[in-house]
Amino acid sequence: MSSKLLIIIPAYNEADNIEQVVDNLIENYPQYDYVIINDGSRDKTPVICKNKRYRYIDMPINVGLTDGVQTGMMYAYEHGYEYALQFDGDGQHDPKYIEKMVEAMSECDICVGSRFVDQKKPGGLRMLGSNIIQATIKLTTGKNIKDPTSGMRMFNRATMKAMARNADYGPEPDTLAHLIRSGAVVKEIQVEMHDRTAGESYLNFSRSIKYMMHMCFSIVFIQWCRKKIKLKGGIKK
Amino acid sequence: MSLVLRFALVIVSFLVLVFVLKKIRRSQLYIDDAIYWIVSAFLLLIISIFPQIAIFASELLDIQSPANFVFLFMIFLVLIKLFNMAIELSVQKHRLNRLVQKLALMKDEEDHLKEDR
């Protein structure tokens, strides 16, 4: 372990993107440790990781994003990292904002790399889902998270532990809402996100609708009766 | 409840009992998991032999036909079983994924030790 931060890069069939993303991290941001979670990819992802001697964990079967990221959280927690960052393997996230996010961690438990802190959220159908999830989180927790669906989130040890130890803590907005209700302090930092460099996004129209419905239902009904956890060593409000 | 339905129920519940016991003998079903099937086949058998139970219950619940009570009762049993199986499945999913995670982390650790040597 050489840095305080571990970047967790879940990768499922990301052979077209992973090289660019990880090479960028290694060349320009050597101060951060990273680990790729190869979630049972069926393409060349594991071959690339091996040949380029990337730091990677190989899941023997595909377990899905939730358990893949959780493996990264377990790794980060067990190896004593101060912070863990969930970072997309498809080139959407820009590592130049990581420094600001680390700085922000002194006053929060979870830092979200948000597209809409200073910038206004574009209207239209595309952001409708994001708006609805934002509204449900506001309704249930009283906190206004401007970009709840952002996949760039940094966790401190208290929230990392929660993510690593418990079942059903997916790297999704409903977990964010649950952690807020459990007393976690969330801060958003303005970031820019890029379009995918290659390949098609997992979220098409019908999947987006399904995702949004699933999240809203989970936040409104399920999180409400979920047992709150105790965050030890988190930021005091 | 018609005689035909009673007769059918007796045969079906008897067959279920035989089938379940056969599967246990061949160790294809844990005894723990078989208890539900044996008990519900037994209940069905009792209802078909003593239709008075179904008649009494249907009058009590204001159900027109005793046969409807039998259906309601069976649907209820099936729903409970279904829900329990959903729970079981979630537990299995969780355990499988935990195993995979542990395996992946242990393999990583091992590779590291090899490199250090």
- Token pair for A127: 């952001």
Query: Whole-model pTM?
Result: 0.83
CA dist A39 and A212 (Å) reads 24
Instruction: Flag whether residue B103 sits within 8 Å of chain A, measured between CB atoms.
Output: yes
Query: Å from B108 to nearest chain A CA?
Result: 6
Q: Which residues of A touch B99 (CB under 8 A)?
A: none
CA dist A152 and A21 (Å) reads 14
Q: What is the CATH number of domain A5-225?
A: 3.90.550.10
Mean local confidence (pLDDT), A96-105 = 95
Do residues A126 and A212 touch, judged by C-beta distance below 8 A?
A: no
Radius of gyration of chain B (CA): 23
Q: What is the reported pLDDT for A201?
A: 62
DSSP type of residue A146: S
CB pairs under 8 A between A and B: 31
Q: pLDDT tier at A199 (50, 70, 90 boundaries)?
A: low
Q: Do A67 and B104 touch (CB under 8 A)?
A: no
Q: pLDDT tier at A224 (50, 70, 90 boundaries)?
A: confident
Mean local confidence (pLDDT), A80-98 = 93
CA dist A211 and A6 (Å) reads 28
Q: Do A60 and B103 touch (CB under 8 A)?
A: yes
Q: What is the reported pLDDT for A22?
A: 95
pLDDT higher than threshold 70 for residue A203: no
Q: What is the reported pLDDT for A186?
A: 95
Q: Which residues pair with A86 in a beta bridge?
A: A8, A153
Query: Å from B25 to nearest chain A CA?
Result: 34
Q: What is the reported pLDDT for B3?
A: 85
- More reliable by pLDDT, A21 or B24: A21
Q: pLDDT tier at A198 (50, 70, 90 boundaries)?
A: low
Mutation site, A12, A66, A71, interface B, largest B CB count within 10 A: A71
Q: Do B105 and A57 touch (CB under 8 A)?
A: yes
pLDDT higher than threshold 90 for residue B25: no
- Token pair for B52: 């008075």
Mean local confidence (pLDDT), A112-116 = 94
Q: Is A12 helix (H, G, I), strand (E, B) or coil?
A: coil
Chain A contacts in chain B segment 24-63 (CB below 8 A): none
- % pLDDT > 90, chain A: 70
Q: Among A31, A38, A27, which residue's Cα sits nearest to residue A6?
A: A31
Do residues A147 and A112 touch, judged by C-beta distance below 8 A?
A: yes
Q: Do A61 and B100 touch (CB under 8 A)?
A: yes
Domain boundaries, chain A: 5-225
Q: Do A57 and B108 touch (CB under 8 A)?
A: yes
pLDDT higher than threshold 90 for residue A19: yes
- For B95, the closest chain A residue by CA position comes to A167
Domain boundaries, chain B: 3-116
Q: Who contacts A123 (Cβ-Cβ below 8 Å, separation ≥6)?
A: none
Q: What is the reported pLDDT for A125?
A: 72
Q: Which residues of A touch B100 (CB under 8 A)?
A: 59-61, 63, 67
pLDDT higher than threshold 70 for residue A217: yes
CA dist A61 and A39 (Å) reads 7
The mean-pLDDT minimum among A38-42, A119-123, B71-75 falls in A119-123
Q: pLDDT tier at B47 (50, 70, 90 boundaries)?
A: confident
- Mean pLDDT score of chain A, rounded to an integer? 90
